């Protein structure tokens, strides 16, 4: 996976966390750097942890999925992306919570990073350097989540839907790129 693909993947995966961080910022009356860092660390940390877990799961099953890894990556990214696009169109209001408690942050961090676990499964057969990929995904999510809290505090949820839509489109395009590369229809 080249740098540009990894960057797109990191941005796409971080859009759920970014959207939730916007909601977190909306609910925060007294915003300070500490709260922005807390959200960034929780979301960035879990976004780095989950593809690593997926990578090790993929390593165990690598012999079974090597022949179809590009299809697995395409299907997982397309499903996750489609779900993000669906959520971006939803009129349901997400509940906002101004708590920064361990339980509250843990639940949000897990909820926003489950898709990263699925994305990590085909990494071993795609030859992805998991340390570099997980670090890059984590740092990108940290930065975008901290920024999301600030944006939410300033502007409200105006950009939540656009963030989820963008993330969904990026993940679908990335999955399509992986599939086309492995089928020999696209050369990078």
- Contacts of residue 155, defined as CB under 8 A and 6 or more positions apart, other chains included, come to none
C-alpha to C-alpha distance for 175 and 171, rounded to whole angstroms: 6
Tokens (6 digits) for 60: 């165990």
Q: pLDDT tens digits for 137-180? A: 999 999 999 999 999 888 866 677 777 788 788 878 888 887 89
Question: Rounded to whole angstroms, how far apart are CA atoms 140 and 159?
Answer: 18
H/E stretch holding 105 reads helix 102-120
What's the whole-model pTM score?
0.76
- Percent of the chain scored above 90 by pLDDT? 32
């Amino acid at each position: 996976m080249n740098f540009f693909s990894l960057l797109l993947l990191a941005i796409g995966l971080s859009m759920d966390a970014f959207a939730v961080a916007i909601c977190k910022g909306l609910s925060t009356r007294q915003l300070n750097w500490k709260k922005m860092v807390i959200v960034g660390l929780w979301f960035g940390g879990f976004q780095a942890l989950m593809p690593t877990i997926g990578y090790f799961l993929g390593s165990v099953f690598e012999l079974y999925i090597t022949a179809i890894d590009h299809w697995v990556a395409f299907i997982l990214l397309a499903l996750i992306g489609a779900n993000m696009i669906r959520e971006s169109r939803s009129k349901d209001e997400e509940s906002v919570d101004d708590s920064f408690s361990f339980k509250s942050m843990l639940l949000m961090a897990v909820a926003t990073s489950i898709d990263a676990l699925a994305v990590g499964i085909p990494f071993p057969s795609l030859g992805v350097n998991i340390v570099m990929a997980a670090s890059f995904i984590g740092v990108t999510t940290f930065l975008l989540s901290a920024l999301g809290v600030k944006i939410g505090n300033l502007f409200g949820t105006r950009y939540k839907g656009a963030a989820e839509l963008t993330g969904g489109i990026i993940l679908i395009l990335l999955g399509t790129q992986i599939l086309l590369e492995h089928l020999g229809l696209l050369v990078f």
